[in-house]
Amino acid sequence: MKYEVKLYVGGKVFTEEVQAVNNQDAKATALARNPTAKVIGVNNRNLHTFQLDLAQTEKVAEELTKRGLTFHHDDCAAAIDNSNKPQVSLCALSGMSSAHDVDRYRNVGVGMCLIGESLMRATDPGVAIKGLCLDPKDYAASQSVSGGAYTGGTKMIKICGLTNPKDALVACRAGANLLGVIFAEKSKRKVSVEQARDIVNAVRSFGERSDRVTVEVRTNNKNGDTPLSALVAKSHALELAARRPLVVGVFQNQPFDFIEEMVDKCGLDLVQLHGSEGMEAANSSNFGVPALRVVDIELGSDGSDEKDRSSMDTAASILKKVTSDPIAILLDTSIKGDKHGGGGTGKTFDWTIAESIQNMGLPVIIAGGLTPDNIGEAVGNVRPWGVDVAGGVEAGPGVKDVDKLQKFIGGAKKAAVEASKGF
């Protein structure tokens, strides 16, 4: 099919003939293109099955490159201006939801992206556009770790204690990266295998995938092969994998074979260890999927913050415990003397501890007592890599309040954008 369209690029208007080819085979698509085309758009979505394949644009780019085609990357207007040498601008269509997606296509010569889906699903379109880091300099800055301090800002939002697909989809649409289902025996939000599986299927449908996501870790040895550098690399890998929401199973002092069984039966993407399990228990070899490791920040038996040590000392003691086994570290509040372990206290801890840990180079997720009312302060002051909430966005145990949920995620994203302006 051929269409005539008007393109508004770089302040200029171009009228161009567009050829649409519905074919998911990269080689066939490359051969079928109009040889006079100035713009080539590649739809990552199969319009027969509606399945999404983000590698489709890369495959087509590779095939076109083999045929000697040059992509005009830096100035798309110049690519379609008849006064310039014949070049084309490659456009990626469908599925972009993160700055990583945009950067991945930029690296293969893509000059334009269609991001309507991301904007439609965003609570705040302005925040969503900013978060895509369309300028390469913005993306580079968002990934930076400068002077040993983590300065990448808040990237991960986890909604925990989900018990039904409806709430999970609300969280997905609002922009959550991680969706937590709790299997811990003592939790009032404990789910059955059937409930967890229904949530997993709903999240996969939203993320347009049929199987669990593989977290690919690329090690960077420039800072030495240390637990800290390994964890930084793993956290970054999780961030990239979670551009489409992932489901996390939360466990507490439960047998490894039971955890592995739940992973297989429910299709969990990750697990989270919330008990007294050792740090080495979070090694992915134990369950077949990566594991988040919770580190408790202990409050007094009356729930008060015991500030008998400086936040710097506390942060240093936590980092000494860290190994390279987990995919990421989550800080949560526990109550002194609670034999069942931490989590679910509804209490905040001293956030300067998290700030100190990140200043030492390790991105962390913070939990405990977060609500729509204080999330702006937490993100604005601490700039944690991630935030985690359960009870703070609920109408009752395990039942999310839609308004609170959307305000929490929207508030976190807005505060992250505002906080980034100072860096």
pLDDT band at 302 (very low <50, low <70, confident <90, very high): very low
pLDDT at 85 over 50: no
pLDDT tens, 343-380? 667 789 999 999 999 888 899 999 999 999 999 999 99
Sheet holding 89-93, edge to edge: 39-43, 89-93, 110-114
Mapped onto helix, strand or coil, the DSSP state of residue 54 is: coil
**What percent of the chain clears pLDDT 90, i.e. is strictly above it?**
36
When comparing pLDDT for 304 and 282, which is higher? 282
pLDDT of res. 210: 81
| Number of residues that make up the chain | 423
pLDDT at 35: 67
pLDDT for 84 equals: 47
Retrieve residue 315's tokens. 């942060």
pLDDT at 306 over 60: no
**Spans of all domains in the chain:** 2-141, 149-420
Provide the pLDDT for residue 386. 96
pLDDT level of residue 79 (50, 70, 90 thresholds):
very low
pLDDT score, position 80: 46
Fold match between domain 2-141 and domain 149-420: yes
Residue 7 is predicted with a pLDDT of: 57
Each residue of 45-71: pLDDT tens digit? 877 777 778 888 888 888 878 877 777
CA atoms within 13 A on the CB side of 103: 17
Does CATH number 3.20.20.70 belong to domain 2-141? Answer: yes
Task: State the helix-helix crossing angle for 165-174 and 193-207, rounded to 10 degrees.
Answer: 30
Once rounded to an integer, what is the mean pLDDT over residues 327-338?
83
Give the position of tokens 């409806």.
166
CATH class of the 149-420 domain in this structure: alpha beta
Half-sphere exposure of 106 (CA within 13 A, CB side): 16
pLDDT over 50 (residue 274): yes
Lowest mean pLDDT among 111-115, 261-265, 286-290, 389-393: 111-115
In one-letter notation, the amino acid at residue 352 is: T
- Cα–Cα distances (Å) from 249 to 126, 158, 270, in that order, read 32, 12, 6
What pLDDT, on the 0 to 100 scale, is given for residue 328? 95
State the CB neighbour count (10 A cutoff) for residue 317.
Answer: 11
Residue 78 has pLDDT above 80, yes or no: no
Give the number of other Cβ atoms within 10 Å of residue 285's Cβ.
Answer: 6
| 93-102, 138-147, 173-182, 273-282: least confidently modelled range | 138-147
pLDDT confidence of residue 92: 86
Closest CA to 333 of 304, 358, 309: 304
pLDDT digit string, tens, across residues 132-151: 777 777 766 655 443 345 65
The mean of the pLDDT values for the chain is 80
- Over residues 172-230, the pLDDT tens digits come to 999 999 999 999 998 999 999 999 999 999 999 988 888 888 887 765 555 456 888 88
Please choose, from the candidates 160, 166, 242, 157, the residue with its C-alpha nearest in 3D space to the C-alpha of residue 198.
Answer: 166
When pLDDT is cut at 50, 70 and 90, the band that residue 91 belongs to is confident
Give the residue with greater pLDDT, 38 vs 240.
240
Greater pLDDT, 307 or 197? 197
Q: Residue 86: is its pLDDT beyond 50? A: no
Instruction: Please tell me the predicted confidence (pLDDT) of residue 94.
Output: 81
Please indicate whether residue 159 or residue 12 has the higher confidence score (pLDDT).
Answer: 159
| Helix (H/G/I), strand (E/B), else coil: 170 | helix
Residue 2 binned pLDDT confidence (cut-offs 50, 70, 90): low
